[in-house]
Structure 1
């Protein structure tokens, strides 16, 4: 291995350690960890942290990418050929599991998001994924709708099954996971029932 290769490998190990430390601190309840806390948890110097990440925004971006990767690993597509009620049930159960998995990071993001363009972009990436999933999973029910009505319904189902709604159920109403998931299911079922209704003249 050349000197250059060795430096690249060390830099990659440092970056990985920093991202893992950032995630671990948030999971432990430190929702707004400082650079010094992250460096200490990673076992690197603060100088090494900033040598590998230009600023917190860069760290937020790469942490967000790692969290999306973890979410992808935990995600199992719901079969599109199941009956509608089974698709809704499986979709809502999985959304509840993924939202609970991501809950500490969503809470941490809420603190920093107003000042962070990267975090705002990461949140939009999460929502876009759910929008695509809804559009594909319920394509049979949505097929008869015109483009505008379909887009509105897909966004409505996505909003009902993303963090903004989940935090209201879990943190504001203080509902247990099972009850929150059941309310999500009720809302998604009600919304998708609109797809069976004829468009008013």
Structure 2
């Protein structure tokens, strides 16, 4: 996925399938409707991946080879299309995702998790940049952001459950939130676009952040100084 100097140093963990989904036919009319819907979703995804951050309905319809009337007849408005596209992107990531084994040593868990996150974040980069443009005006895109963060928090809680047993409830919640933020788009776009780091270097920074956060709940709490 990432060739050249910005590519991972070793074999990637994740591979995403961008091929259109083939809907299961129920009857002729339903099958045609599903094909049209899927063609529109695939066209929307393809346009954003090609660098069009705000594809118009006309552009999507042309790419999907359907009429503009048919496009809006199936989706109604942009919010409905954003919801369907977001669900399709999540489906593709879910199909490719292989959870890191929580029984592995901590260092290996962190390494595998961060390399996996780097793959996923580079995959969604065009869509995240597109969402940044439209999210202030779209409740659906804002909901998609929350969904991604919630999914990251669930994975973090499972992956580092052994280490979190030493933390109280408040600390556990805060550390989970911090690790989720450190391994999702807000932190990644800062490393890649603002600081200008390569994928491997950004991954190493992520590993340092997450290692420090996990280790913070493993260290004994400081004792108050005697008076």
TM bin, normalised by shorter chain, reads: over 0.9
Aligned to 1:59: 81
Secondary structure of residue in 2 paired with 1:98? helix
In the alignment, structure 1 residue 186 sits paired with structure 2 residue 208: yes
Q: 1:86 aligns with which of 108, 133, 153?
A: 108
Structure with the bigger percentage of helix: 1
Alignment of 1:89-108 (within 5 A): 89-108=111-130
Provide TM-score, normalisation by structure 1: 0.96
Alignment of 1:65-76 (within 5 A): 65-76=87-98
Aligned to 1:146: 168
Deviations 1:127-174 (A, max 9, x none): 111000000000000012111110000000110000000000001111
Alignment of 1:15-164 (within 5 A): 15-164=37-186
Quick one: distance in 1 between partners of 2:222 and 2:172?
15
Cα deviation for residue 198 of structure 1 reads 2.3
Deviations 1:90-132 (A, max 9, x none): 0000000000011100000110000000011111111111000
Secondary structure of residue in 2 paired with 1:96? helix
Cα deviation for residue 5 of structure 1 reads 3.3
In structure 1, the gaps of 5 or more residues are none
Quick one: distance in 2 between partners of 1:70 and 1:194?
34
Secondary structure of residue in 2 paired with 1:122? helix
Quick one: distance in 2 between partners of 1:36 and 1:178?
38
Cα deviation for residue 6 of structure 1 reads 2.3
Cα deviation for residue 200 of structure 1 reads 4.4
CA RMSD, 1 decimal? 1.1
Q: Across the two proteins, how many residue pairs are aligned to each other? A: 198
Quick one: distance in 2 between partners of 1:200 and 1:177?
36
